[in-house]
Amino acid sequence: MTYKPPNGASGGAPPAGLAALRRANLSLVLRELRDHKSLSRAHIAEATGLHRATVSNLMAELLERRLVREVGVEHVGAVGRPRRAVALHGAHVGALGMEINVDYIAVHGTDLSGRILVERRVAYDAMGSGPDSAVRRLGLVAEEAVEAMRRAGASPAGIVVAVPGLVDVVRGVVTLAPNLYWHDLPLADQLSSLLSPLRVPVRVDNDANLAALAEYTSGVAAGTPYLVYLTGEVGVGGGIILGGELLRGADGFSGEVGHLQVDPNGAQCGCGRIGCWETKVGLAALVRAAMPEQAYGLPGMPVPDPGERVADLARGLASGDRRMTTAVAQVGEWLGLGGSILANLFNPRVIVIGGYFASLAQWLLPHAQDQLQRLVVAAPAAQCRFVASTLGFGAASRGAASMVVSDIIDDPTTIMDSSPRPVPH
């Protein structure tokens, strides 16, 4: 059926049933447009099962709100008559993704159609700063990003922050982020109150999960339904996509692969346990073995951006530095060993390696792939390949921004009914 708002698009509260129907229909239409570049109204009606008249009405409302735009004509077949096509627009609607990690804060702001408005990474010693300073710094970086997006004409509808640790996404609490020394930190509430003048809702999620979503939607193995993503930071997290869905687990804590114990006689991990996988393959472990004079946590050392450390490593490896090549070969073998555990468990088609793993892939992967092939029990699992991410250190913040976009698409009325109509150009 067709829903026609009684007092124009934003006026009056429709009965609950009609409001839910309108919300669901708007969401259906926007989802189709997100998944395809541009579509005619007839195509949308076909794909969603909605009546043509319903689609036309919804489209009129979305056009008026500038959430979609006309993009010319779509020719169907040799004899089909041309149809006007529409695409996602929403240039005035912003989505801000952020990530805080051990040694940096990253932001990735887009509009509704995914156009990038702000993207940056700042070196920051989150490990040594404590949660209070870190949250304040996050707030400042968020304010700057929101300002930049507003200057570009987009008002952020939400902020999602990626954190390397266990996150209670419902309450917005970081239960445990071992490498940041955070416990039970109500990050969403704290950041919301810091940013209260901006009136932008804040959510928190796990960095690897968000990066896995970014890989699945726009990365090097996009669309691969069985995919594991590994963050290559000081800590190592995993995001697991099974059958095209993110595996969250009973409490949302799945994917903590960095804390698989791989060496009972190994070094102590940030989580307090011994011999976790990330003590073998995390960036801190590689730096300690390859260039100990730059190791993490040395007193008086300024914290460089991880990109700078990795560039130093790449230069050394390219020049054949023996200490570095030995260290990276060892890390590659441990990477393959852990990867084989994941391949035995989840049978993914690809393991996408992000962060520093991707930057050093040409040196790590030959060792990792050999180990993987040797240790996976099922022969066809040899089809499981390590693949270097092309999203680099920005994967989690990109995934965070796309989660804001998904939230809007799930319920577009949150932005349509709470804000005045944009002034047409």
Site for Zn ion, rule CB under 5 A: 259, 269, 271, 273, 276
Amino acid at 252: G
CB of 356 to Zn ion, least distance (A): 18
Residue 263 or 411 having the CB closest to Zn ion: 263
Q: Is residue 415 within 8 Å of 112, Cβ to Cβ? A: no
Q: Is residue 262 within 8 Å of 275, Cβ to Cβ? A: yes
Residue 114 or 266 having the CB closest to Zn ion: 266
Alpha carbon distance 213, 398 (integer Å): 9
Residue 268 or 362 having the CB closest to Zn ion: 268
CB of 303 to Zn ion, least distance (A): 21
CB of 256 to Zn ion, least distance (A): 8
Residue 248 or 273 having the CB closest to Zn ion: 273
Closest CA to 289 of 319, 317, 330, 336: 330
First-to-last CA distance in the chain? 32
Residue whose entry in the numeric block shows the structure tokens 């149809």: 83
Angular region, 374: left φ>0, alpha ψ -120 to 50, beta rest = alpha
Residue 274 or 291 having the CB closest to Zn ion: 274
SS3 content of the chain, % helix, strand, coil (to 5): 45, 20, 30
Residue 271 or 353 having the CB closest to Zn ion: 271
Q: Is residue 286 within 8 Å of 233, Cβ to Cβ? A: no
CB of 269 to Zn ion, least distance (A): 3
Q: Which residues sit opposite 69 in a β-bridge?
A: 87
**Which residues are within 8 A (CB) of 296 and not within 5 positions of it... i.e. 6 or more apart?**
102, 103, 127, 234, 283, 284, 287, 288
CB of 181 to Zn ion, least distance (A): 13
CB of 259 to Zn ion, least distance (A): 4
Q: Which residues sit opposite 206 in a β-bridge?
A: 163
Sign of CA dihedral 211, 216, 220, 221: positive
Residue whose entry in the numeric block shows the structure tokens 């109150």: 193
CB of 9 to Zn ion, least distance (A): 51
**Which residues are within 8 A (CB) of 363 and not within 5 positions of it... i.e. 6 or more apart?**
317, 325, 328, 329, 332
Residue 271 or 395 having the CB closest to Zn ion: 271
Pair of tokens at residue 420: 């005045």
Residue 257 or 408 having the CB closest to Zn ion: 257
Residue 234 or 271 having the CB closest to Zn ion: 271
Residue 110 or 179 having the CB closest to Zn ion: 179
CB of 164 to Zn ion, least distance (A): 12
CB of 274 to Zn ion, least distance (A): 8
Alpha carbon distance 44, 372 (integer Å): 44
Alpha carbon distance 8, 167 (integer Å): 41
Alpha carbon distance 380, 319 (integer Å): 37
- Of all helices (H) and strands (E), which one includes residue 143? helix 126-151
CB of 178 to Zn ion, least distance (A): 6
